Each structure stands twice: as C-alpha cells, then as structure tokens.
A = this chain, B = another copy of it.
Amino acid sequence: MKLTILGCYSATPRTLNNTTSQVLEINNHMFLIDCGEGTQVQLRRHKIKFNRIKHVFISHLHGDHFFGLVGLISTFRLLTRETDLHIYGPKGIKEVITLQMKLADSWTNYKLIFHELTSTETELIFEDDKVEVHTIPLNHRVYTNGFLFKEKAGERKLDIKAVEAANIDTAYFRKLKQGFDVNNKDGILIDYKKVTKPANKPQSYAFCSDTMYKEDIVPLIKNVDVLYHESTFLEKHAHLGPKTKHSTAIEAAKIAKLANVGTLVLGHYSTRYDSLNAFKEEAQTVFKNVELSEDGKTFEF
C-alpha cells in the first residue's frame, strides 16, 4: 500500500502549498482522493501515470478539495484518454462538471461515470474481488464523506515444496488456497494448513477530511492500518474547530487512539503556521505513531 500526498494544506493553493489531493495505490488500483486546484500539475510533477487513475473519490464540494477535477477531466480528454473514469462524490458534482463541459462544448471521448452520494450512513461504494471502498460520513459545514479502502482477505499461499512432496494434482491447488483439505494422487487426505501458508494480512486505509471531532466514525475505522485525519488547527486555535467544523491535531490523535489504528497521518493544515512539527508533537501527547503529510511525500505501508 503506497500513499502519495499531492497536497495537504487547507483553504487556498499557494506557491509552495497545494490543497488536498492524494493517490492511494492498493492492490494494483490507483485511487485519486480529492482533487484541489492544480492536482493535474502535481500528478505530472510526481510522475503518476494519468491512465492508471480510474476512480476518483471526492469528499466534499469545497474548492480546496475539488476545483482541480474539471481541469483533470478536461486534460484527460485532450490526451485522448479512452479508459472509463468513475467519480464518487456528493450530489451536485455531476451537474457542475457537465455544465462546464457543455459551456466549453468539450465532451469527453471516454466514459465519465458519476456515482453521486447522498447517504448519511456508511455505504459500500466500490467493490471488486480484491478491494472494497466504504464511505465514512463526516461532520463538516457541507455534506462530506471520508473513505475507507480495505483489501479483502486474500487466499492462502501455496508452499510449493510441501505441495510437491505431498503429491497433489495441480487441479486441487485453488481448493487448498481457499482452505479446503484435498485428496492427493494416492487417495490420502491432505490438511491444507500443512501445504499452504497464511494469506497476506489485508491492509486498510481511512481518509477522514474535512471534519470536526466525530467519535461516531471510530467503529467504522477500527483497527485500520493507516488513518489520515485532518488536523487543521493546533491547540491554541482549538476554539475555531467547532465554528469552522475542523479538527485539531490532538482530536485527530484521540480518534486514532480510540480506533486503535496502526499509523495516524496528519494533514489539511491551516497555512497560518510556520512549521508542522507542533502538529506531530501535540498529537503524540495522545497517540504515539504519528506521521506528518507533506506535499510530495510518499508513504509505503
């Protein structure tokens, strides 16, 4: 699982600060999460192949999370993309994108498939045989969802030497990987555990931005490997949290602790602060395993 932070600042793009966007690589998928203005340039800068992006998840329709989407769609068109593009986001996203295409008289030559979200309960919004994506309803000034990306439990792995020694026909390998005992060529029942190894542990990533402190999300993100939780403010501006519906670093850490996550990644920093270290220090008073997102930083989990 690899996470590339394209932008992790709040409010407005600046010369050195990009607004929210990140790419999650998980099980051969490349999911784009949020798409602030300038995301297409950040994708180019970090050499992420446009064609590998087939699914875009937009948390909410504030500009710092989606003003780059129409430009990305438009650039894909100019580059004569043919691959379908799925867009998951709040109701209204289809209207605003298609209105701009209509005004520009520039319809995509590839298929643009909108999945508009309206539910305030968690939903399964994407699923294939390897990965699931669920929404995480958040509490912000407008309708907002976080997203939970979860690998499915994979099959067990063959222990090639043991399988060969046990004289099992290859036709039964799939059954063994699925956890069934099978007969070998001599008619002897073989315990699958003796010729296979456990599957890789499925990994999970939760993206929670923007939101004020919301404990209701804890059951949804329980035990995830990595939690990205917004931390717009430091403690000295904690009073602004409820007003603007954002969180502090300490609140993000409280959620991480309650949910027993592996690693907490902080981001969506207000640009009022000169240094990011205080975000980590404050969060670590509550939860130890904290990482700071930074534009262009890549995490491998």
Binding site for B on A (CB under 8 A): 11-15, 37-38, 40-41, 44-45, 61-63, 67-68, 70-71, 74-75, 78-79, 90, 92-93, 95-96, 99-100, 103-106, 141-142
Question: Chain B nearest CB: distance from A104 CB in Å?
Answer: 5
Instruction: List, sorted by A's number, 23 A–B pairs whose CB atoms are closer than 8 Å.
Output: A12-B79, A13-B71, A14-B41, A37-B37, A37-B38, A37-B40, A61-B100, A61-B103, A61-B104, A63-B74, A63-B100, A63-B104, A63-B106, A67-B71, A67-B74, A67-B100, A90-B103, A92-B103, A93-B103, A95-B99, A96-B96, A103-B142, A105-B141
Report Cα–Cα, A255/B38, bound state, in Å.
Answer: 35
Chain B residues whose CB sits within 8 angstroms of the CB of A141 once the complex forms: 105
| Partner among B62, B68, B96, B142 whose Cβ is within 8 Å of the Cβ of A37 | B68
Given A71-B63, A92-B103, A96-B103: A78 and B11 interface contact (C-beta under 8 Å): yes
Report Cα–Cα, A41/B14, bound state, in Å.
Answer: 5
Contact yes or no, A41 B13, CB < 8 A: yes
Contact yes or no, A62 B104, CB < 8 A: yes
Contact yes or no, B104 A142, CB < 8 A: yes
Report Cα–Cα, A103/B121, bound state, in Å.
Answer: 20
Report Cα–Cα, A79/B11, bound state, in Å.
Answer: 10
| Partner among B12, B95, B99, B103 whose Cβ is within 8 Å of the Cβ of A75 | B12
Contact yes or no, B45 A78, CB < 8 A: no
Question: Chain B nearest CB: distance from A134 CB in Å?
Answer: 23
Report Cα–Cα, A62/B74, bound state, in Å.
Answer: 9
| Partner among B11, B15, B74, B96 whose Cβ is within 8 Å of the Cβ of A100 | B96
Chain B residues whose CB sits within 8 angstroms of the CB of A78 once the complex forms: 11-12
Report Cα–Cα, A44/B271, bound state, in Å.
Answer: 14
Chain B residues whose CB sits within 8 angstroms of the CB of A96 once the complex forms: 96, 99-100, 103
Report Cα–Cα, A67/B103, bound state, in Å.
Answer: 12
Given A37-B68, A37-B71: A106 and B13 interface contact (C-beta under 8 Å): no
Chain B residues whose CB sits within 8 angstroms of the CB of A38 once the complex forms: 13, 37-38, 41
Chain B residues whose CB sits within 8 angstroms of the CB of A95 once the complex forms: 99
Report Cα–Cα, A142/B100, bound state, in Å.
Answer: 13
Contact yes or no, A12 B37, CB < 8 A: no
Chain B residues whose CB sits within 8 angstroms of the CB of A14 once the complex forms: 41, 44
Report Cα–Cα, A177/B195, bound state, in Å.
Answer: 102
Question: Chain B nearest CB: distance from A53 CB in Å?
Answer: 15
Report Cα–Cα, A71/B14, bound state, in Å.
Answer: 12
Contact yes or no, A44 B63, CB < 8 A: no
Report Cα–Cα, A12/B68, bound state, in Å.
Answer: 12
Chain B residues whose CB sits within 8 angstroms of the CB of A103 once the complex forms: 61, 90, 92-93, 96, 142
Report Cα–Cα, A106/B62, bound state, in Å.
Answer: 8
Chain B residues whose CB sits within 8 angstroms of the CB of A62 once the complex forms: 104, 106
Q: What 4 A-B pairs come out closest when comparing CB atoms?
A: A61-B103, A12-B75, A63-B74, A37-B71
